[in-house]
Amino acid sequence: MLTTPTSRVQKVAALVQRLDRSELRELLRLVPRLREDPESGTDNVAHAADLMGWVREELSRYAAEAQPMHDDDRFLGGMTVAAYFVLPEAERERIWDEMYAEAIEAAPEREIKPDANISARQKHRPRNR
Amino acid sequence: MPTYLLDKSIARAIVESLYHYEHPSAREIEALATWRRWRLERARLFVPVEAVHILMRFEQFLEVRVFLATVEPLESGRYLKRWARRLREHGFAREDAHVLALATFGTDRVGGLLGVEGLITLDQPFVNNFRNHERALRTRLSAMTHQLSAPYRDAALPIVLRLEELWP
């Protein structure tokens, strides 16, 4: 028997309805296209505008204490801000990796209090001892 | 209150997104939207102390100052290096082993915390390696912590997620 596109979608939808949260995550990982909503262009613009407004407010809270980056300011890797941000993603990552690798070499360990907070997930994990 | 460790890739993504916030790419929108959501749910956000030290050199910049104001440094607790050495035997690069061990044996400024619930990263190969070895790692961690005193005996692996897996 032939399956129409609509009935195929309905079958997939019925399957998806039964997925739990972790299965939904896995599905989205396997099919990233599901994140894209071809009819939500207006929503995306509104979302981005709302987000920008929120970021602007966050930045304004610290405007008296710090200045926005300018192109000729010195930044990571001894470069100017402008030079840093035109680098490819992989090169910016490499700069961070180098600085980070040097820093973790010298990281000292410290004692943790016996009554330290332990996340709920840790507290409730199965104990097999 | 949920506790998350943001690896250096997430810290970098948020700071860079703040610089571009008026003309963000799709990925930068995702980073900023996730950061906002964490703020709104009052999650306790940590960044490896080493990444905080890198950023503190530039805290005169607004984009860096704002980000640092929303995170706390996660410092190495006792047994971190021992656990990181074991992680290296499961194919983790040195820095990946360090951050995963930090999520398990890391602590806050006052030593009042052991580990975090979630480790968030952009590094897919790291996530893949964690998932491939997760069962063996749990067994190995349990064997290591079995005879430790409190609180270390309660150390547990975090959930490890890529940024886009947080909220489907």
Please, what is the Cα angle at B80 between B77 and B84, to 5 degrees? 160
Q: Which of residues 4-43 of B touch A (CB under 8 A)?
A: 8-9, 12, 16, 18-22, 24, 29, 32-33, 36
Task: Give the containing element (helix H, strand E) for A3.
Answer: none
Q: Is the pTM of this model over 0.90?
A: no
- pLDDT score of B59: 95
Query: DSSP string spanning B81-109?
Result: HHHHHHHHTTT--HHHHHHHHHHHHEE-T
Task: Render pLDDT for A28-82 as a digit per residue (tens, 0 to 9).
Answer: 667 655 655 555 555 677 788 899 999 999 999 999 999 999 999 999 999 999 9
- pLDDT score of B24: 85
Which chain A residue shows the shortest CA-CA distance from B84? A104
Task: Render pLDDT for B102-128 as a digit per residue (tens, 0 to 9).
Answer: 999 999 999 999 999 999 999 999 999
The answer to whether B32 touches A51, Cβ cutoff 8 Å, is yes
Q: Under an 8 A CB cutoff, do B94 and A101 touch?
A: yes
Could you tell me if B151 lies within 8 Å of chain A, comparing CB atoms? Answer: yes
- pLDDT score of A5: 54
Per-residue pLDDT of chain B (168 residues; tens, 9 = 90+): 899 999 999 999 999 999 998 888 888 888 999 999 999 999 999 999 999 999 999 999 999 999 999 999 999 999 999 999 999 999 999 999 999 999 999 999 999 999 999 999 999 999 999 999 999 999 999 999 998 999 999 999 999 999 888 866
Task: Render pLDDT for A70-113 as a digit per residue (tens, 0 to 9).
Answer: 999 999 999 999 999 999 999 999 999 999 988 887 778 999 99
Could you tell me if B124 lies within 8 Å of chain A, comparing CB atoms? Answer: no
- The dihedral built from the CA positions of residue B93, B71, B16 and B131, taken in this order, carries a sign that is positive
Residue ranges of domains in chain B, CATH in brackets: 3-165 (3.40.50)
Quickly tell me which residue has 């709920």 as its tokens.
A120
Considering only CA atoms, which of B65, B67, B74 is closest in space to residue B46? Answer: B74
For the beta carbon of residue B4, count every other beta carbon within 10 angstroms. Answer: 23
Q: Which residues contact A61 (CB under 8 A, 6 or more apart)?
A: B66
